[in-house]
């Protein structure tokens, strides 16, 4: 009798424990995980131990045929803490998504105990440490997103064991060491992004075995040696980014290269990449001819080969690629003529071939079958007449044909091209009443008023005569009108007062309106010029004037252009870069070429004057050649300006080149952001240096779109990448380093800028 009673007692004592322990093992594993993870209360409140299983918990999904957890998704819910080893007890887990949270710590090796895990997304967290070898031994792993964290150390060789892997995104971490050759075993891999790390060594040959690879980003690392990627297997490759590495030598074979210091010739095998849509080999040291095999790339839309040492003719096969939209092959030594086949490119939007040796007549049909937006053939030897239908689509925005041998008159449709906002036809053999044309004569054409988007009208240095036509007032966007050095007579039309955005009006009539002396200074007398009651200009009379000197500051200061003129004038990237380089060259001269060296101590946009061509001149030094050396100007003590002073100036008054470098870096940031050094939009006690750094190092990662001037973003959108802007931004951050010893010299700055070889047409 004692046996049955004892058994009954045991059952009764066990009953309460059984009632409270009905939660499945997966549920207990999740509750254990929540001890290391801080999960928001609204979510955690649904994780109750009294449930039989966790299938109804927020963020949890179970299988359709069982109650095992197959999905844990807490993406973007504000989870923090660390990922504990209990994750490895979820044996049926297929999807783990904890992205966009505040999770820190390292990845537990136990994660490799989830044999069914196929989707892993832990991106945009604070995870660190090395990847456990066990992670990539999960046999069914297909998608791995671990980008935007702080992982370090090498990529484990076990990565090659994930034979089903299709997406591997490890970008924006601190990974180091070589790329394992075992990556070549990932036969299903389509996307591989390792950008923005510190990986080094050579690209393994085994990558050429990846037939399904569609996207490869190895940019912003320390890879070196010869580029060996690209073979007959790379037919699916469409996006290949190798920029900002240390590659040297030639290209043995490649599908696409972006911004490296490459030499040698373009490989013939490139034509095997039949799916390629963008080929970017810009700003390298490539020589030889353009291979005809490029014509095999029948899906190519972008062909950027500019700033190299290419010679010969562009193969006719290239002009037969039907999908071409942008052909940028400027700054080379190419020659030959443009074939008639170019007129059949129906998608062509941008044709930029300046600074080559092209000759002959431009086909008359150019523009008839395409929606041309930009055409720049300047600095070549083209002859004949300007094609009559360039603006047939009524979309042409920029027409630059300067420095050629064009003859005849400007086509009538140019005068009707209301979309046009930049027109350069100078230094040709044109005749008739043409704008911006040296040696031109005749009247200013009334049709000029049709160019309603025109921003700059420069008719200076011609033999124009007659009256200034009032139709110019129809150019509602006009910001600068230069009629200097002509034979124009009469008065300025009253209708010009409608041009509310007009900031610079330069006319012979202006001289007649100069009267009252405003002040006399060390460098001459300043007069007042009244154009209207609310338009008063300061005019300085120079003893020995030249056209070049007179225009030294016609565009005002950089501060005016960036911050004061309303509405703000469009400031193209090419102009900003020209200003950045010009100021750097000026400071380099002061720091390294003057004996003794000169330290400016007050570099800021207000002290950078812009001439008619937007060339920068540092105040007091840029106009030194115009000052009469027989009169000694009064010396002035140049002190710093808040927002531009380097941190060390708070502790010393010693002049230093490094303080100028810091101020120059602030000017670069203003050029990129179009914000003031101490902008009212910044938080309290924040200057532009700290504001930019906080945005770059914030939770959202590199928020370039939040930093960069929206005008620049619009300029590059859909047509170009932002690599040039990003590189200038990095240089600005180096110049504004907190420690003076970490800043580059101005000699180094100039070298970095010139090494970029960004030879824009405005710099010629």
Return the H-helix or E-strand segment holding 11: helix 2-20
Instruction: Tell me the average confidence (pLDDT) per consecutive run of 10 residues in the chain, 764 residues long.
Output: 49 44 85 91 90 90 88 91 93 93 94 94 94 93 94 94 93 93 91 92 87 85 76 66 69 43 70 78 83 91 89 96 94 93 93 93 89 90 90 84 82 73 74 39 50 61 60 70 61 67 49 38 41 45 40 71 80 89 89 80 88 77 31 42 81 73 95 91 87 73 71 65 77 89 89 67 39
The pLDDT assigned to 209 comes to 87
Q: What are the structure tokens assigned to 312, written together?
A: 């010969």
Smallest CA-to-CA distance from 153 within 171, 175, 132 is with 175
Length of the chain: 764
CA separation for the pair 359, 273 (Å, rounded): 32
Neighbouring C-beta atoms of residue 337, cutoff 10 Å: 14
The pLDDT assigned to 458 comes to 58
Q: Which residues are catalytic?
A: 602
The pLDDT assigned to 23 comes to 87
Q: What are the structure tokens assigned to 444, written together?
A: 């200013």
707, 679 Cβ separation under 8 angstroms = no
DSSP state, 623?
A: T
For residue 199, list its beta bridge partners: 177
Sheet containing 524-532: order of strands: 514-521, 524-532, 535-540
Q: Counting beta carbons within 10 angstroms of the beta carbon of residue 666, is it exposed (0 to 12), middle (13 to 18) or buried (19 or more)?
A: buried
- Please name each of the domains of the chain with its CATH number: 27-107 (3.80.10.10), 513-541 (no CATH), 573-763 (1.10.510.10)
715, 564 Cβ separation under 8 angstroms = no
401, 428 Cβ separation under 8 angstroms = yes
- 219: helix, coil or strand? coil
CA dihedral defined by 632, 633, 634, 637, rounded to 10 degrees? -120
Smallest CA-to-CA distance from 69 within 97, 34, 94 is with 94
The pLDDT assigned to 59 comes to 92
Q: DSSP states of 137-197 as a string?
A: G-TT--EEE--SSEEEEPPPGGGGG-TT--EEE--SSEEEEEPPGGGGG-TT--EEE--SS
DSSP state, 473?
A: G
Positions of E strands within 297-368: 302-304, 309-312, 326-328, 333-336, 350-352, 357-361
């Amino acid at each position: 009798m004692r046996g049955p009673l004892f058994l009954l007692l045991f059952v009764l004592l066990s009953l309460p424990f059984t009632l409270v322990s009905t939660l499945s093992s997966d549920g207990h594993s999740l509750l254990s995980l929540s001890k290391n993870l801080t999960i928001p209360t609204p979510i955690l409140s649904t994780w109750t131990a009294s449930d039989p299983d966790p299938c109804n918990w927020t963020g949890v999904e179970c299988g359709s045929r069982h109650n095992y957890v197959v999905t844990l998704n807490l993406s973007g819910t504000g989870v923090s803490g660390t990922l504990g080893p209990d994750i490895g007890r979820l044996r049926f887990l297929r999807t783990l998504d904890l992205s966009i949270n505040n999770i820190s710590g390292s990845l537990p090796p136990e994660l490799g105990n989830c044999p069914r895990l196929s989707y892993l997304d832990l991106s945009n967290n604070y995870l660190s440490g090395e990847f456990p070898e066990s992670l990539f031994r999960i046999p069914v792993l297909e998608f791995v997103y671990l980008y935007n964290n702080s992982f370090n150390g090498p990529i484990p060789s076990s990565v090659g064991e994930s034979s089903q892997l299709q997406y591997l995104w490890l970008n924006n971490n601190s990974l180091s060491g070589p790329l394992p050759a075992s990556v070549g075993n990932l036969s299903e891999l389509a996307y591989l992004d390792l950008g923005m790390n510190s990986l080094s060594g050579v690209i393994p040959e085994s990558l050429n075995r990846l037939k399904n690879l569609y996207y490869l980003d190895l940019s912003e690392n320390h890879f070196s040696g010869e580029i060996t990627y690209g073979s007959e297997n790379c037919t699916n490759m469409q996006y290949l980014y190798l920029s900002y590495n240390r590659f040297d030598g030639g290209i043995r074979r490649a599908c696409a290269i972006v911004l490296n210091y490459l030499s040698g010739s373009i490989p013939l095998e490139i034509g095997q990449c039949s799916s390629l849509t963008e080929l970017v080999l810009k700003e390298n040291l490539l020589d030889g001819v353009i291979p005809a095999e490029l014509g095999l790339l029948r899906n190519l839309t972008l062909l950027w080969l500019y700033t190299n040492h290419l010679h010969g003719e562009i193969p006719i096969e290239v002009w037969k690629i039907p999908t071409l939209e942008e052909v940028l092959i400027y700054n080379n030594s190419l020659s030959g003529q443009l074939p008639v086949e170019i007129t059949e490119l129906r998608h062509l939007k941008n044709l930029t071939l300046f600074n080559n040796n092209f000759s002959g007549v431009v086909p008359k049909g150019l523009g008839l079958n395409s929606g041309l937006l930009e055409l720049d053939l300047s600095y070549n030897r083209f002859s004949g007449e300007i094609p009559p239908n360039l603006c047939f689509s009524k979309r042409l925005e920029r027409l630059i044909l300067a420095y050629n041998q064009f003859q005849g008159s400007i086509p009538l449709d140019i005068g009707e091209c209301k979309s046009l906002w930049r027109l350069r036809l100078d230094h040709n053999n044109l005749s008739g009443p043409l704008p911006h044309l040296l040696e031109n004569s005749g009247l200013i054409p009334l049709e000029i008023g049709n160019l309603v988007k025109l921003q700059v009208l420069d008719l200076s240095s011609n033999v124009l005569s007659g009256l200034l036509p009032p139709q110019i007032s129809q150019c509602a966007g006009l910001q600068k009108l230069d009629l200097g050095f002509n034979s124009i007579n009469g008065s300025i039309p009253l209708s010009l007062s409608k041009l509310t955005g007009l900031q610079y009006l330069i006319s012979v009539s202006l001289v007649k309106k100069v009267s009252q002396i405003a002040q006399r200074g060390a460098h001459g007398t300043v007069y007042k010029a009244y154009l209207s009651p609310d338009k008063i200009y300061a005019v300085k009379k120079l003893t020995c004037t030249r056209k070049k000197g007179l225009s030294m500051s016609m565009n005002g200061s950089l501060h005016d252009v960036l911050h004061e003129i309303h509405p703000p004038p469009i400031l193209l990237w090419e102009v900003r870069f020209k200003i950045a380089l010009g100021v750097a060259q000026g400071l380099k001269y002061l720091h390294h070429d003057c004996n003794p060296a000169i330290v400016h101590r007050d570099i800021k946009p207000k002290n950078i004057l812009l001439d008619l061509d937007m060339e920068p001149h540092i105040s007091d030094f840029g106009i030194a050649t115009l000052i009469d050396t027989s009169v000694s100007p009064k010396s002035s003590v140049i002190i710093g300006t808040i927002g531009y002073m380097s941190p060390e100036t708070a502790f010393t008054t010693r002049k230093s080149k490094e303080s100028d470098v810091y101020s120059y870096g602030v000017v670069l940031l203003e050029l990129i952001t179009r914000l003031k050094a101490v902008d009212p939009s910044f938080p309290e006690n924040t200057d532009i240096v700290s504001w930019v750094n906080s945005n770059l190092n914030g939770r959202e990662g590199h928020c370039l779109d939040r930093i960069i001037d929206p005008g620049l973003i619009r300029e590059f959108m859909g047509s170009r990448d932002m690599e040039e802007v990003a590189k200038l931004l990095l240089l600005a951050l180096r110049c504004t380093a907190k420690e003076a010893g970490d800043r580059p010299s101005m000699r180094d700055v100039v070298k970095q800028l010139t090494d970029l070889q960004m030879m824009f047409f405005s710099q010629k």
